[in-house]
Chains A and B, each alone.
Chain A
Amino acid sequence: MIPSKTEMQKALSCRVGEDIASRLNGSKVAVLGLGGLGSNVCIALARAGVGHLIICDFDKVDITNLNRQQYKASQIGMKKTDALKENLLEIAPYIDVITVDKKVSEENIYEICKDADVICEAFDKADNKAMLVNFVLEKMPGKYIVSASGLAGFGSMNEIRTRKMSDRFYLCGDLVSDVNDGIGLVSARVMGCASHEAQTILRILTGEEDE
């Protein structure tokens, strides 16, 4: 039996208080890239009660994604946007999820992200990460960007940190562990970095920002 919307809201309010629960419920976050980072970020945000997500990826679920991304074997071949929306709705049945099945470029970032309070960079490739961060900081004044760099391999989780780079720019990761060095991507470490991103987003949305 799926609980009612009121029951779900009440359960959240009991944990974090009505004020924070209602603030999160009214928030909108855009997550660009739905791989190991993005899929895990979305699930953490949905569980925490963020009311609106814009989720964007052009790819389909592949068997090689299952070692770290929040998809199921039964979803192989589905669009990542559709598969993740399905999984998010199982967890948080009343969340509003807008899917964008597109490859992100400088031409469409503004359109995709313009209504978001916070933008989460969750791409795989370094050039895409740099493009999004530069674009948001240059062209979207007032928007926050939370990004990740350095999360590959079997290194210690303790090396993964969140740094506040400037007013609207947070960077999570160890900054150096590059998947192109052949060290692979490991579920726990990727999830750890995704958790850093998600927690930073929740802190921004609830006004608990770092100095």
Chain B
Amino acid sequence: MVRVNGKETDICGISVADYLKTTSYDLRFIALEINEKIVPKSQYKETIIEDGDRIEIVSFVGGG
């Protein structure tokens, strides 16, 4: 099982890029960490989500 923003999800074995395609996140606005390590955007394609991973996706909103 994989946790995405605290929620259990069954997405092991696919890449971060492929997972994100199934979501409505806009890549320009996000930062994504797996097990508290940033995943560079240049590595979304080759980073494979593994069993037990904890993924946090921050989708920034405007205002400051």
Question: In the complex the two chains form, what is the Cα distance from A165 to B34 in whole Å?
Answer: 11
Across-interface contacts of B14 in A (CB, < 8 A): none
Cβ contact of A134, chosen from B41, B59, B63, cutoff 8 A: B41
Segment touching A, from B15-23, B24-32, B45-53: B24-32
Please tell me the number of chain A residues within 8 Å of chain B, measured between CB atoms.
36
B61 with A178: CB separation less than 8 A: yes
Across-interface contacts of A71 in B (CB, < 8 A): none
A69 to chain B: closest residue by CB: B64
Distance in Å: Cβ of B27 to nearest Cβ of chain A: 9
Dominant secondary structure at the A interface: mixed
Across-interface contacts of A134 in B (CB, < 8 A): 31, 38, 40-41
B40 with A124: CB separation less than 8 A: no
B27 to chain A: closest residue by CB: A130
Known: A127-B28, A137-B38. A166 touches B33 (CB 8 A): yes
A148 with B31: CB separation less than 8 A: no
Dominant secondary structure at the B interface: mixed
Known: A126-B29, A127-B28. A180 touches B36 (CB 8 A): no
Known: A127-B29, A137-B31, A165-B56. A37 touches B64 (CB 8 A): yes
Cβ contact of A178, chosen from B36, B37, B58, B63, cutoff 8 A: B63
B38 to chain A: closest residue by CB: A137
B37 to chain A: closest residue by CB: A166
B61 with A138: CB separation less than 8 A: no
Distance in Å: Cβ of A58 to nearest Cβ of chain B: 14
Residues of chain A in range 156-174 having any CB-CB distance to chain B below 8 Å? 165-167, 169, 171
Interface centre among B29, B30, B33 (most CB of A within 10 A): B29
A130 with B63: CB separation less than 8 A: no
Cβ contact of B61, chosen from A36, A137, A180, cutoff 8 A: A180
Known: A126-B29, A129-B29. 15 other contacts (CB 8 A): A33-B64, A36-B63, A37-B64, A126-B28, A126-B60, A130-B28, A137-B38, A138-B40, A149-B61, A151-B63, A151-B64, A166-B37, A166-B56, A169-B38, A177-B61
Chain A interface residues (CB < 8 Å from chain B): 33, 35-38, 122-127, 129-130, 133-134, 137-138, 147-152, 165-167, 169, 171, 175-180, 185, 190
